[in-house]
């Protein structure tokens, strides 16, 4: 890294890696340069890593074409992520095992890169829009169920950087099998794909969990699939409340678009089960569906300043 960059504007290439799409955008001093772009994660025989590399290279070209030399990359990714080592230890949806994503992105663009779990990057965006919220758990629900735990204003990383794997919290002993090898995981009941699969297995016809959500109240099979998801999620929230005493549980990801159809029964169920203490507030994301990308940009700003420190020789 050249020393002149330390005092120049921050130009962050932000990437939000998902199981279906990879989103990216360029942020100059925190302001988004363009509307950003979205590409499919998997295209023909190409893997997810090809899509990410192409995205990062494209963003770098865009930035340079407009006269902004990139200063950092910030990327959110699903899976077990060791942030400090820049390593994706395991991401089943992406087919990655021990991928040194941070280093590979740095080599491609020639600027420092910091990666983090996608739920934690999204939680960064939540904290940015609601700075007074110090204790919360952010639970993005899409193809899978993930999580970011924030206590006293700090994101919990864990000993190996792998905190927040809420999808694999057991909620039903001897319950449905999960891809992780356990049974009864939260993800096996409350993910969008589990809601859809549950509805179809019961004899319903739908193409997405959103369709199932839209049928709640008018279709008994949809009610059943939905209530299994709500019950499992309520158990997870009770566990989180007893363990961490959060002020708020924030549901994000695709399933949160269901709004009151999700929140109303969830609040009721949690309130009923938590008779022994106050319930946390339960809400949907305030940062919106682009929280992951905005959080990746915020992460990239962190990279830059920490690398600046290093290059100046101070701790």
| Residues contributing to the site for a second copy (CB under 8 A) | 80, 90, 134-135, 147, 149, 151-152, 154, 156-173, 180-182, 235, 238-240, 242-248, 273, 275-278, 280
Q: Which is nearer to a second copy, 29 or 268 (CB)?
A: 268
Q: Which is nearer to a second copy, 18 or 280 (CB)?
A: 280
CA 72 – CA 83 distance, rounded (Å): 15
What minimum distance in Å lies between the beta carbon of 52 and a second copy?
23
What minimum distance in Å lies between the beta carbon of 165 and a second copy?
4
What minimum distance in Å lies between the beta carbon of 180 and a second copy?
4
Beta strands in 194-308 (DSSP E): 248-252, 281-284
Question: 215 CB contacts (<8 Å, ≥6 apart)?
Answer: 204, 206, 221, 222
DSSP state of 4: G
Q: Which is nearer to a second copy, 67 or 181 (CB)?
A: 181
Q: Which is nearer to a second copy, 24 or 198 (CB)?
A: 198
Q: Which is nearer to a second copy, 25 or 171 (CB)?
A: 171
Q: Which is nearer to a second copy, 157 or 291 (CB)?
A: 157
What minimum distance in Å lies between the beta carbon of 50 and a second copy?
26
CA 105 – CA 113 distance, rounded (Å): 6
Q: Which residue has the tokens 């899976």?
A: 79
What minimum distance in Å lies between the beta carbon of 224 and a second copy?
17
Work out the angle between the directed axes of helices 260-273 and 220-244 (0-180°, nearest 10): 50
CB 233 within 8 A of CB 284: no
Q: Which is nearer to a second copy, 60 or 122 (CB)?
A: 122
Which tokens hold the place of 115? 């990666």
Tell me how far CA of residue 123 lies from CA of 119, 281, 296, 299, in angstroms. Answer: 6, 16, 10, 11
What minimum distance in Å lies between the beta carbon of 41 and a second copy?
22
Tell me how far CA of residue 204 lies from CA of 81, 208, 255, in angstroms. Answer: 37, 11, 18
Per-residue H/E/C for 217-242: CCCHHHHHHHHHHHHHHHHHHHHHHH
Q: Which residue from 148, 243, 40 is spatially nearest to 235, judged by alpha carbons?
A: 243
Coil, helix or strand for 126?
helix
Q: Which is nearer to a second copy, 134 or 227 (CB)?
A: 134
What minimum distance in Å lies between the beta carbon of 94 and a second copy?
15
What minimum distance in Å lies between the beta carbon of 162 and a second copy?
4
Q: Which is nearer to a second copy, 179 or 310 (CB)?
A: 179
| 97 phi and psi angles, rounded to 5 deg | -135, 125
Q: Which residue from 270, 283, 278, 281 is spatially nearest to 238, judged by alpha carbons?
A: 270
CA 48 – CA 235 distance, rounded (Å): 33
What minimum distance in Å lies between the beta carbon of 245 and a second copy?
2
């Amino acid at each position: 890294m050249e020393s002149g960059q330390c005092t120049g504007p921050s130009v962050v290439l932000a990437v939000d890696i998902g199981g279906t799409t990879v989103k990216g955008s360029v942020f100059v001093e925190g302001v988004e340069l363009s509307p950003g772009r979205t590409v499919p994660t998997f295209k023909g025989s190409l893997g997810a890593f090809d899509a990410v590399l192409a995205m990062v290279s494209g963003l770098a070209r865009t930035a340079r074409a407009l006269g902004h030399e990139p200063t950092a990359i910030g990327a959110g990714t699903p899976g077990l992520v060791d942030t400090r080592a820049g390593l994706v230890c395991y991401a089943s949806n992406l087919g990655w095992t021990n991928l040194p994503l941070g280093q590979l992105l740095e080599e491609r663009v020639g600027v420092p890169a910091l990666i983090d779990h996608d739920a934690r990057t999204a939680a960064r965006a939540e904290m940015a829009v609601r700075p007074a919220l110090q204790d919360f758990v952010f639970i993005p629900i899409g193809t899978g169920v993930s999580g970011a735990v924030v206590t006293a204003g700090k994101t919990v990383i864990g000993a190996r950087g792998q905190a927040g794997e809420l999808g694999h919290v057991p909620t039903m002993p001897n319950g449905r099998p999960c891809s992780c090898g356990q049974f009864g995981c939260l993800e096996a009941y409350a993910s969008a794909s589990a809601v859809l699969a549950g509805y179809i297995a019961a004899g319903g016809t739908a193409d997405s969990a959103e369709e199932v959500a839209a049928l709640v109240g008018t279709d008994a099979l949809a009610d059943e699939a939905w209530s299994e998801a709500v019950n499992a999620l309520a158990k997870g929230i009770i566990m989180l409340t007893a363990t961490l005493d959060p002020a708020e549980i924030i549901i994000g990801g695709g399933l949160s678009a269901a709004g009151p159809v999700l929140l109303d029964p969830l609040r009721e169920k949690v309130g009923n089960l938590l008779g022994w203490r106050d319930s946390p507030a339960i809400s949907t994301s305030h940062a919106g569906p682009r929280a992951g990308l905005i959080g990746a940009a915020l992460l990239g700003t962190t990279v830059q300043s920490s690398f600046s420190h290093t290059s100046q020789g101070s701790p």
